Amino acid sequence: MKATVIDIKGNKVKDIELDDEVFALKPNKSSIYEAIKNELANRRQGTSSVKTKAEVAGSGTKPWKQKGTGRARVGTKRNPVWTGGGVAFGPKPRDFSYKLPKKIKKLAYRSIFSQKLLDSNLVILDKIPLENAKTKEFLTAINPLIEKKIISDRISLILNEKENNVYIASKNIPWVKNLNCDRLNAHDLYYSEKVVVTEESLMRINDNLKIKD
């Protein structure tokens, strides 16, 4: 399939050919859900912890005898029913991360890119010319795209290692999420209003996600 490449001013430069199996796929919502769930689970720290009745301070002796006092029987003041006692079935440190099959993850990326292209939310730039890694210079450069409403807030900017100046200049802008073309992120891609990618990075993505024979 063909896709349009524009310059930083929003003018059409050329059309490029992309693989249908990557950018013209019927989006698979199940794979997108699984990829996003996996990424969010892998981010969890899992450091929540409470003390059990074996760990809280306090005597382990029986407060009073079992019978004859008229009060309820109790074995220790550290039991979960009492104030200051341990917590029953509370959280303990654990690892929430798990591995997702590569085929499902790749299918999720292909589905997201296909949906973004179908909805005209994939913006392909020939390049982002920056002389210095300055945020002000980056905002000035992309201002024509903002004025023409080609991009708005909450964008994912996909770059490669050669575009380090652009990465540095844009990394502290709150509505721009920087991604590397070789290390994508399904959550940020899916929830971005626009995905902005340079032509070189897009061709790398095209090669990385296409189905190998």
Give residue-wise pLDDT tens across range 117-156.
999 999 999 989 888 899 999 999 999 999 988 988 899 9
- Average pLDDT (32-61) is 95
- The reply to whether 189 and 117 lie within a common domain is yes
Question: What distance in Å separates the CA atoms of residue 163 and residue 142, rounded to the nearest whole number?
Answer: 15
139 and 62 housed in the same domain = no
CB–CB of 186/208 below 8 Å? no
Distance CA 128, CA 196 (A): 11
Q: Domain with 108 in it: what CATH number? A: 3.40.1370.10
Q: Are 118 and 155 contained in the same domain?
A: yes
One domain, residues 138 and 204: yes
The pLDDT of residue 213: 56
Q: What percent of the chain has pLDDT over 90?
A: 84
pLDDT greater than 90 at residue 162 = no
Residues 69 and 18 in one domain: no
Task: Domain of residue 70: give its range.
Answer: 50-90
- How confident is the prediction for the chain on average, in pLDDT? 93
* Number of domains composing the chain: 2
Tell whether 74 and 32 lie within a shared domain.
no
This prediction has a pTM of 0.86
Q: Tell me the CA distances in angstroms from 42 to 37, 38, 96, one per residue in order.
A: 9, 6, 6
* Whether residues 82 and 148 fall in one domain: no
